[in-house]
Structure 1
């Protein structure tokens, strides 16, 4: 192999494999009944309106949630990373109570996430995000 081929192979390995898209670790079954409630600890924050709730530290039991009452900017948008950081600060590691709702599509599950309104100590996460000054405006 010549030097150019080695360099190209090294670049491919470094950039082609080193940074795969980060998939969320939530692998638990999703409640699919309207009005179903579930509790647990917020184990993972994916962005400003997506998180994982679990009673144990086992990702195969974590429920992936899309907040019903807050629409954060997408991560690729200018305010998206700040929204994720705020939700992490507000909620990560805390106990939460969630209740499933229908989304705009009329379904309880959308894009492999359950749509739910979640509360910490009786306070809505959506309201907490707005109170923290996070802009809404995602998809």
Structure 2
């Protein structure tokens, strides 16, 4: 019983794991990059990299799709939709200015990403992925 309480207390004190993508993000609109979609953080955030090393993965906030936050009732479904569409596939991304006029937000680059020449945002809308973030 004491061991269980100690383990539970330790687990509660452990912070949630951050996104594994740690490469520097592009700072100017028009910068293009490509690689495999290596990680999906939520319904409109992913990491693109050309190697299995997370220090080379660029964290992206999709410019053309707004998904519900993960903690929202359908947030997990939005994340699963992005995983179905993009995880493990090759993507070509171009940094753009977001609605706030910036290219970066929360250490992520705002970008339009394509898979086989089709926007990931468009692909998500076509499969009926949940929308409604910011």
Q: TM-score range by the shorter chain?
A: over 0.9
Counterpart among 120, 123, 126 of residue 128 in structure 1: 123
* TM-superposition CA deviations, 1:46-78 (whole Å, max 9, x none): 000000000101111100000000000000111
Equivalent residue, structure 2, for 1:102 = 97
Instruction: Measure, in 2, the Cα distance between the counterparts of 1:14 and 1:136.
Output: 32
1:39 is the counterpart of 2:44: no
TM-score (norm 1): 0.90
- Write the mapping of 1:17-96 to structure 2, written as runs, cut at 5 A: 17=14, 20-96=15-91
The 4+ residue runs of structure 1 with deviation greater than 6 A are none
1:14 offset after TM fit, Å?
A: 3.7
Which 5+ residue runs of structure 1 have no aligned equivalent? none
For the residue of structure 2 that corresponds to 1:90, the secondary structure is helix
Instruction: Measure, in 1, the Cα distance between the counterparts of 2:19 and 2:29.
Output: 24
* TM-superposition CA deviations, 1:51-107 (whole Å, max 9, x none): 000010111110000000000000011111001001101100100000011111100
Aligned Cα RMSD in Å? Answer: 1.5
Equivalent residue, structure 1, for 2:114 = 119
1:7 offset after TM fit, Å?
A: 6.4
Q: Which structure: larger Rg? A: 1
TM-score (norm 2): 0.93
Which 5+ residue runs of structure 2 have no aligned equivalent? none
